[in-house]
Each structure stands twice: as structure tokens, then as C-alpha cells.
Structure 1
């Protein structure tokens, strides 16, 4: 039986792979787990937030039912960014936080992920214990069921989003008066709070894709579809464009010329800005194996250092906490400023980019140009199974041949997606045509060997 939790919670197509019955069991299991671990609190409080997907209320209700069936208190925050739940879990002394979201995935997918009372994602070992309780409930639910006045309660607190807005505003002292900004909310969880934040800071703001109706989240918009943001930045002659994903834990930007500022460039811009202020701990930025070669060159040229982890923001954060670093992230726009937050926060990231641009007195394109990106080609191959791909001789042979062709001029990285049935094939080097040829050859073999 495969593990229930992936690299970022439990995900699947809503009502088919991820069902309300499973959500109920997860809510019930988590409550039983946290009440068992707490000697002084047998009615644990768990806060729930969601994005704008049509299935969100279904899972919100199912989780609440599971929590209350085990005697817990469900605090329902409604539509809020994922990092807001991490913030509330810690600041409100919750036993846990639960987010209903599939991040950048299409609307028909959904997911359930947990934060602990410390605001950090749950360790694998805790997820495994919760999963074992879920499996027990599936087979024979003979676990604690309170009655009478001991049944749990549900409290609806969408007013909490205002407290999160104040928290985000507190992370910068830079006013944005005179800055023209275009904001793409991806028809997702940032649609309410982020426009209010930027207007409070004085930005001359144009907002796009901020009218969610359940099925348009991430639909040709947001951080995975930047075309409309580029067009709007050029049309309105903006100084910067900002794009979030569906749950707003990531951020990508577009400079005034319409060029993308990806996570690597954001890390360089914000990292060097913090170095100038003496606020970059150990003069080190943490990133993943996906970071562009140009990122390493730019940080080194500025006198900084880089530490590299596996793909996944949880691995970036582990390194940061273990070694006392304060800035890390991924090319995809998951950026962690540990001075401010326990997880990636797209809103805080956007404010740090805007602050860096404002402090510099330069155009965003100038800061974006501090790093030169080498061409990267990425092909996502849909597969029937990800199991055993590393031992597949045909795939390893294709990768070896690609590495021989590139030599020391570039690199190849093949890895499975942690959240989708995909094998990702990436090549990086100076010649994009050559990279396309190499990537397609490897992708064809992967599809032939593992495709549906």
C-alpha cells in the first residue's frame, strides 16, 4: 500500500481520488492523535483554511465533522492563503492547522496538508502516525467517540484574515508610493488580502484574475501562466508585476520590460539586498538542485554562499533551521524568509521584492539582470507509475548518453514529481536547441518505459 501523504500533503482529483470520506477520517485521526499527545488538552483546537476551489467547502465540512467527532474544536478561517494557516496555528496556540488546497494544480484537484502548532509542516513521522490511525478507522473505527457535551464544536472566523494582513504588512517598513504594480491573484486564495495589502502600502495597483468562482483557479493565470501578467505590465507601464499561485504560498514576478523574475532571480535580488543591510545570516542562501547555474554564479560574484538541497521546500527549510540560515527557496517561487515566517509565503515574498526594488532606486529589470540564466528545458512526462524508474536500464542509458553529449557544459536532472504522476526531465546548458534534443530523447524513453 502506497503512502497516503506525498511531499506536500494528500492530493488527488476531488471526490474521486481525494474523497470527503477520506477528509473526514483525516480530521478525525489528526484530532485523536493530538489529543493523545496532549495530557492537558483533550479537546484540541485545529484551524482550517482553504483556497477557492469548488470542492473546498465540501472538504472543509468533512474535516470539521471528523474533528468534532473526536471531540476537537474546528476553527474555520474560510478562504485564506496557505501561509496564513501556518501563522494562525502558531500565533493562536492551535494544536494544528489544516489547509485545503492543491496549490498550482487545476481546479478539479484538491489536497489536504497539515501544519503543527509551531507553524511548521508536520514531520514525516507524525504524518505516518496519523496515517496509521486513518487506516485503523478505515478497517474498524472503534476509537473514541464523545457524546453529550463532549462533542466537538465548529467556530467560523473569516475575520482572522484581517489579522494575517496586518502580519504581512509588518514585514516591511518600505512604502510603495509612486510604484505602479500589477497583481495577478490566480483567482485563488490571495484575491482578498493581497490587493488590500498593496493598497495600504500606497501602490498604484492594477489587479487581474481576482474574481474566483470555483472553477477558474489557476486557469491560464497566476504563477504558472504569466502571459496575461506580462501583457498587463506592458499595457499599464507598470514598475513590477506580481503573480501568486492558487494558495498564495509562492510568488513570481515580471519586470517593467515584461521579463520573468523567477524564484532564482528573486533569491538573488532579495539575498543581495539583505546582504547590503547586514541581514543575510551567514551570507548564505539555500536552494535546490533545480537552481540555475547562473544563480550560483551571481551569488558567488557578490560574495555570498549557496547551500543545495533536494527538491522541495521542506528540505530547504530543514537546511535553514539546522544551519541558521534565514533565506531559501525554489525556482518555482516558493521562498522562505525565516525571519518572518515558518513556511513559504508568496505575499511576504512579493513585499520583499518590492522593497528591494524601492530601496535600490533602480528599475526592476536592473536588479533582475544581476543574474544571467542559462537556458533550461523541462519536459513533464505523464507516467502510469513512478516506481522503479531509477533502476530502469533504458532510462539510465538515455540519461548517460545525454550527460556525455553535454559534458561539462551543462547538466541533466531527472526526478519524479512529489505531487503528480509525472517524471520531470530537465537539461541545462548554453545551447537551447541541443537541450531540447537531449530532453526529448530522454522523455521519449521514459514515456515508452513507464507511460500509461
Structure 2
């Protein structure tokens, strides 16, 4: 199988009309159609579902992607603006689709967009599947032998009730939940959850204060949402709310804040959910799956409850792989991307919100009280913008990283990870001595930038 050049850690993503264009979307639709048709057409209808977030470029890319499918005879249902987990859950519950595609760049700025594919059951594609689609691009560029003619092309249909269908599924997964008397601030990041989260919380009885829920695609993720939770935290304090929730652009993440405006990370939410499931005897293997970046404080907090933490590489697909391999049900990342297989087959910010609220309602506990139980270790994260992520493999930087690890010993952790979606190298350190960590991060940053300048000469 050829090496992937187009697909990153979460589909194809880039700046619109630079890395990702309508022409590319058209070709990807045809290439993906060849892949899905060859494997799935005998078992399912030849129809694909396409959804998107509110970015200005999303409908342009959705139309082009759909055209690529339709020219090979595959019909397209356009679901409209819908959170990514909404598409996944519809695919998991319905059998009318052979596959799905989401147009979104998740937590990235408005100028970015992306395309990621889902197979039957709502599962993201494995690396080998994406490699096969990328290989099919060559066939498409040579003339697309799968193109049909005349009235054999696929049709297009707009589905008007996809958001309501998703909300109904999420509500079914949380039977009997009442949020009467709870005051919640919701930051939709101008994204795909701007309607679904406030609407479902209100259906369950909560009093909801909305912010950044106008679906303005030019503002998506800008100084708001899960990547900037200070805004929702301040609003919670001003409104005297019980808590707040902040999503990213496509709704697969959520970061919460307690009544004091304090950030509640994905690691802390994993702790809450683990306590709830373990208490009900439903935390299979008494195991939570995190990543190499999961805070050591979570691991320490879980131990007295007989729950262990397993770590994978960074990325929800690796977490999901381990959940399936081990027969586990709960995993996630500090970013608030939580996979709870009782709720959905992928990260779902709305479902995570309801699961956390459900635990609080059942136990009568306050979110801030639970936050105090998890002593998170200080973490330093330095995102270094580079021209080429491969610079992280240069000998000078690799040597500097190994020297830093030797210096830290067992007192702290160091992780270096090139971004899969942006020209960034992420330097991550965790330990109790913040000044020492900051000094090491700065030293590694200087080595990395120096190596990059030498590579340009």
C-alpha cells in the first residue's frame, strides 16, 4: 500500500483553496465511491450521508464531494449542519447508508476545512482504508473508470430532520434524565452544536444561557468554545450559573467549567464518568483509556477506586482501537474528546455533557467538589510553528529531546508530537516543577527553530 500523503490524523484538512479545494473534494468523492462501492454495495444501499459544520466553505465542499459520489452512480443525502457525532450516531443506528462524510476542520480556525469519512456503523476509517481511497485518486485523475452516464448518475436529497434525529438518539441513551433547576451556560463556538446542545438541554428542563450560538462560519472557534473556555467561565460567574459547557466547531469535544468558572478538563470528566460507570458495575475491565498526554493526576485519582488507566498514542482513533481490542467502554483526551461507547461510537460533546450531568443529578454532588479530587500535575505545552513537521526528526532535535528526558528522569514526562493537521510541532512536559519544565520547553523550542533555519539554507 502506498504511503499516505493526503490524509492526516483526522481525515483531509487544510486551508480552503490552498490545501483543500472543491476540485480535490470532487476527486475525493469519486475515489471514496470506488472504495466503498467495491466493499459495501452488496450489503447496503448505494447512498451516502454528508453533513457539515457552519464554516463558509462547508457547503461548497459538500456540494463538490457529493458530485464526486453522484458521478459514479451513488446517491447523496445532504444532512445539513450537524455535529460530527450526530452523523456517526445516525450511521450507527440506521442501515440506509453505505457510508458517511463530514465536512469540518473541528477545532481549527475558520479558514481551515476538512473531509473525513465514516464507514457503516459510524466508525472512522482505518489508516489502510484511507490509503486505499488515496490510491484511487490516481484512477480518478486518469478518467474515473467508474463514472456512469446519463440518468444513471446518483440523485441528491436534502434531509431536513437530521438534527432532531440525532437529539432523539442522544436522549434515548440517557433515559429518565431531568435537569430541572440547573442553570447552564452553553458556548457553541459558532459551530455545529449551536442548535442541538441548547435545544436538548432545554428539553430536559435546564435553564440555558447561550453564547456564540449564531452559527457564524467566519467566527467559528475564534476566541471561544472549548479551546478558549475562559469566556464561558466568566459568563458562568456573571450569570450565577451552576456550570458551563463549551464545544468546538464540530461538537466532538466539550470542556466544562464549574460554578466558579474553573475549567474542567477532559481528564476530570473521564474521572467523573469512570466513577459513575464503575459504581453501576458497567466500567468493563475497570479500565479507562487515555493517551500519552493524559495527566498523571487522573491515573493517581482513579487508583483508590480500583480503576486503572491505559495509554495510547495521541488521537481518538487509537483510543477507539484500544477500547475495541480490550472490550473497554470509556476513553478520551484532555481536550474533552471523550468516547463513551454506551453513548456513541465516537467522541460526542453533547452526550458527554449529559453523562456528566446525569452523574451529578444521581449523586447530588457538585462539579467543583469532584474537580478538587483530581490533583492535576502542571503541564507545559509549547506549540512551535514550523515550515515542515519532519524537522522534528532531525538529529539535533532528537538528541536534545533525549538529553532532556535523561535530565528529567522519573520526576516528569516529556512528549514531542508533530501535529497531524497543522504545521506545528507540539512539545509537552508534565511534572511538579513548573519553572524547570518551562526552561526545558524553551530550550527545545530554540533547538527546533534553529534546526529549521539550517534546513532552509
CA gap of 1:399–1:41, structure 2 versus 1, over 3 A, is closer
Q: Deviations over 1:369-418 (max 9, x none)?
A: 1211110000001111122623x232123223322443322111111111
Asked if 1 retains the 8 angstrom alpha-carbon contact of 2:4 and 2:134, the reply is: no
Deviations 1:95-141 (A, max 9, x none): 11100000000000000000001210011111111111112222x11
Q: Secondary structure at the match of 1:118?
A: helix
User: Please, which of 207, 212, 220 is the counterpart of residue 209 of structure 1?
Assistant: 212
Deviation at 1:41, TM superposition (A): 6.8
- Residue of structure 1 equivalent to 2:315: 312
Equivalent-residue separation in structure 2 for 1:276 and 1:43 (angstroms): 42
Aligned pairs for 1:105-254 within 5 A: 105-138=108-141, 140-172=142-174, 173-254=176-257
Q: Secondary structure at the match of 2:85?
A: helix
- 79, 83, 86: which one aligns with 1:84: 86
d(CA) in 2 for partners of 1:420, 1:63 = 22
Q: How far apart, CA to CA, are the structure 2 residues paired with 1:66 and 1:206?
A: 41
Q: Is the 8 A contact 1:36 1:42 kept in 2?
A: no
Q: Could you tell me how far 1:278 is from its partner in structure 2? A: 1.3
Aligned equivalent of 2:411? 409
Matches of 1:312 and 1:85, distance apart in 2: 19
Displaced runs of 4 or more, over 4 A: none
Separation in structure 1 between the aligned mates of residue 123 and residue 193 of structure 2, nearest angstrom: 20
User: How far is the alpha carbon of 1:340 from its aligned partner?
Assistant: 2.1
- 1:4 and 2:14 matched: no
Q: Does 1:384 align with 2:387?
A: yes
Answer yes or no: is the 8 Å Cα contact 2:297–2:377 preserved in 1: yes
Match of 1:397 among 377, 396, 399: 399
Residues of 2 paired with 1:90 and 1:241: CA distance? Answer: 29
Displacement of 1:320: 0.4
Aligned ranges 1:289-308 → 2 under 5 Å? 289-308=292-311
Alignment CA distance shift 1:274-1:150 (3 Å): same
CA distance in 2, matches of 1:42, 1:133: 21
Q: Distance in 2 between matches of 1:102 and 1:164?
A: 20
Q: Which piece of structure 1 moves more, 72-81 or 129-138?
A: 129-138
- The alpha carbon displacement at 1:225 in A equals 0.6
Q: Which residue of 2 aligns with 1:26?
A: 28
| TM-score when normalising by structure 1 | 0.96
Match of 1:424? 426
State the alpha-carbon separation in 2 of the partners of residues 294 and 272 from structure 1: 15
Structure 1 residue runs without a partner (length 5+): none
Structure 2 vs 1, CA of residues 318 and 142 (structure 1 numbering), >3 Å: closer, same or farther?
closer
Superposed CA deviations along residues 307-335 of structure 1, whole A, max 9, x for unmatched, are: 11110000000000111101001111110
Aligned residues of 1:242 and 1:254 also touching (Cα < 8 A): yes
| Contact 1:43–1:71, Cα closer than 8 Å, also in 2 | no
Task: Give the equivalent residue in structure 1 for 2:100.
Answer: 97
Cα pair 2:46 2:74 within 8 Å, conserved: yes
More deviation in 244-253 or 40-49? 40-49
Q: Which residue of 1 aligns with 2:276?
A: 273
Shift of 1:39: 5.5
Report the equivalent of 2:329.
326
CA–CA separation in structure 1 for the residues paired with 2:41 and 2:52: 30
Deviation at 1:2?
5.5
Deviation by residue 1:138-180 (Cα, 9 ceiling, x = unmatched): 2x11412222331110000031211101111122232111111
- TM-score, normalised relative to structure 2: 0.95
Q: State the partner residue of 2:364.
A: 361
Alignment correspondent of 1:440: 442
Which of 33-42 and 369-378 deviates more? 33-42
SS at match of 2:389: coil
Cα 1:150/1:41, change in 2 over 3 Å: farther
Aligned residues: 450
C-alpha separation in 2, matches of 1:109 and 1:279 = 39
